Amino acid sequence: MVQNAVEINDVCVKFNKRPILHDIDLIIKDNDFLAIIGPNAGGKSTLLKVILGLVKVDQGTVKVFGQNPGNQSNPLGYLPQHVSFDPDFPINVFETVLFGRYHGFFKKYSDLDHEKVKNALEEVGMLEMKDRQMSQLSGGQIQRVFIARAIVREPKLLLLDEPMASIDPEMQNSFYSLLLKLRKRMAIVLVSHDVGAVSSHVENIACLNRKLYYHGAAENAARSLEKMYKCPIDLLSHGIPHRVLKNH
Ligand SMILES: Nc1ncnc2c1ncn2[C@@H]1O[C@H](COP(=O)(O)OP(=O)(O)OP(=O)(O)O)[C@@H](O)[C@H]1O
Ligand SMILES: [Mg+2]
């Protein structure tokens, strides 16, 4: 039986009695590549945290592969928006990714863990730099290492919160190529500000600003975003990503 990766029904989330997510309905298929776009403070990161089980909902239901968030047997791959790491802390690329296989304080890493780390690093094109200190990497290379860490448990759903933030346009293309490769074996949800940049790569687009507006197929979405909802997109084209500026 084909199972949806995520089923969200009628979800509301409040922080300090203030509604942050309102009446959210969303189905993410197990082979989807969905971009969630929207303005600052629209609730994008919060929605990812709801899927991860890190934020509890005040109303509605959430199922991840048919189970409650945080309880599913398959771990999810997650790249947080702000990955904190101390540039002075002596840790190399391999060790950073190995940490994604952490089994608990008393359990040692196995040969299989090491094998999986190698595979993940190869996949993101960072195997040659496995012994390099994290402090000696560029922003784009650091992102690749964190992607490797997010996929090292072979998740069926990968959640990426603004992964393009510190990546230049050329690097972004190779980053999307990587995601297109990964999506053959996992659903991907990509949170981004940039409608123009994501619309040519992803399959579906949803726009979140407290409420979720599902725009469906990406090729039509950028245009229909403006037409249907008068969504104010900054039409600076010519390679500069479009930007959602205001509320719907
Ligand atoms: N733990 C929390 N407690 C209280 N308020 C919170 C909490 N987390 C987020 N918020 C508030 O919820 C709103 C949505 O935040 P969220 O981080 O989900 O937005 P976002 O769409 O990811 O924004 P950005 O594009 O800036 O990353 C914001 O107003 C934020 O201040
Ligand atoms: Mg965010």
- Rounded Cα–Cα distance for residues 134 and 149 (Å): 13
Domain shared by 206 and 241, yes or no: yes
In this prediction, residue 222 has a pLDDT band, given cuts at 50, 70 and 90, of: low
Domain shared by 169 and 188, yes or no: yes
Question: Could you tell me the CA-to-CA distances from 183 to 33, 55, 179, 210, 243 in Å, in that order?
Answer: 7, 26, 6, 27, 25
Whether the CB of 210 sits within 6 Å of ligand 1: no
Q: Which of 13, 14, 15, 164 to mutate to test the pocket of ligand 1 (most atoms within 8 A of CB)?
A: 15
Rounded average pLDDT over 239-244: 41
Domain shared by 162 and 241, yes or no: yes
- Report percent pLDDT > 70 for the chain: 85
State which residues form the domain around 135: 88-154
Does a structural domain hold residue 222? yes
Q: List, for residues 66-93, the tens digit of each pLDDT value.
A: 999 988 677 799 999 987 777 778 899 9
Report the nearest atom of ligand 1 relative to the CA of 162. Answer: 27
Domain shared by 182 and 247, yes or no: yes
Does a structural domain hold residue 38? yes
Domain shared by 209 and 167, yes or no: yes
| pLDDT at residue number 139 | 83
Domain shared by 134 and 160, yes or no: no
Q: Which residue has the tokens 């972004």?
A: 172
Does a structural domain hold residue 191? yes
Query: What single-letter DSSP state applies at residue 215?
Result: E
Of 154, 187, 203, the last residue of a domain is 154
Does a structural domain hold residue 83? no
Whether the CB of 77 sits within 6 Å of ligand 1: no
Does a structural domain hold residue 82? no
Does a structural domain hold residue 137? yes
- Taking 50 as the threshold, does the pLDDT of residue 239 lie above it? no
Whether the CB of 45 sits within 6 Å of ligand 1: yes
Of 103, 125, 154, the last residue of a domain is 154
Q: List, for residues 115-147, the tens digit of each pLDDT value.
A: 999 999 999 999 999 999 999 998 888 989 999
Q: Which residue has the tokens 């890190």?
A: 54
In this prediction, residue 220 has a pLDDT band, given cuts at 50, 70 and 90, of: low
Q: Is 160 left (phi over 0), alpha (psi -120 to 50) or beta?
A: beta
Domain shared by 170 and 56, yes or no: yes
Q: What is the mean pLDDT of the chain?
A: 85
Does a structural domain hold residue 81? no
Domain shared by 115 and 228, yes or no: no
Q: Any bridge partners for residue 43, and if so which? A: none
| pLDDT at residue number 120 | 96
- Taking 50 as the threshold, does the pLDDT of residue 43 lie above it? yes
Domain shared by 166 and 215, yes or no: yes
| pLDDT at residue number 219 | 62
Rounded average pLDDT over 17-26: 95
Q: In total, how many domains does the chain have?
A: 2
Most confident of the ranges 9-23, 32-46, 97-111, 206-220: 9-23
Domain shared by 149 and 162, yes or no: no
- Taking 60 as the threshold, does the pLDDT of residue 226 lie above it? no
| pLDDT at residue number 242 | 43
For the CA of 38, the nearest ligand = 1
Please say whether the beta carbons of 50 and 28 come within 8 A: no
Does a structural domain hold residue 234? yes
Of 105, 130, 154, the last residue of a domain is 154
Domain shared by 105 and 21, yes or no: no
Domain shared by 1 and 72, yes or no: yes
- Taking 90 as the threshold, does the pLDDT of residue 163 lie above it? no
